[in-house]
Amino acid sequence: MKCEICGADPRLTIILPKRQKNGSLITLACESCAIASGLYCEKHQRPHQGFADETTACIPCIEEILKQDGEKIAGSFAVAVAGSDKASEIQVAIRIWSERLESGLSNVSLIELPGIIDLIRTGHPVRVARLVVTYSQRMHMTPDQAIKKVVEEGPDLILPPSL
């Protein structure tokens, strides 16, 4: 298959989460175009995950940050939210999201089930940290910057669009 960016015929084709003008939600790329696109993680040698708003992030990078700093991020988020004008709005929205996540198992496909079960097992603080870290990686900012933005603008920044 040809690289849809440079036209090369690579040995390895990488599927990128990049919308094309023809409506396709993916772009086939050679390794050098994938790296140059910013939609491929060189460290983990894999493409980013695409999101509904067309942002992307490397899921293993998110998991590494959570493993290293997840509890600290969850604590920072809780403190920042508690002291904000939007505390009630943010806390209620996240509680509703968490309840829907836990009660929505019957609507999950078998392919998604292991990931959802892992997410539920992590506990509420780490789930919230995952929301913050995912947003920060998608927006190319630090978790602290993401927390500040959520406190200023509200929970919709980090919650999935279905809420």
| Mean pLDDT, the chain cut into blocks of 10 residues (163 residues total) | 95 94 93 96 96 93 96 96 96 89 62 57 81 97 98 95 63
SS3 55: coil
SS3 28: strand
What DSSP character marks residue 16?
E
> Identity (one letter) of the amino acid at 59?
I
**CA–CA gap between residue 106 and residue 102 (Å, rounded):** 10
What pLDDT shows up at residue 11? 93
**CA–CA gap between residue 146 and residue 137 (Å, rounded):** 9
What pLDDT shows up at residue 163? 42
Residue spans of alpha helices (H) in 4-162: 31-37, 59-82, 87-103, 113-121, 124-138, 143-153
What pLDDT shows up at residue 1? 87
Q: Are strands 14-16 and 27-29 parallel, antiparallel or unpaired?
A: antiparallel
What pLDDT shows up at residue 43? 97
Which tokens hold the place of 36?
């140059």
Q: Which of 84, 75, 13, 2 is nearest to 93 (CA)?
A: 84
What pLDDT shows up at residue 65? 97
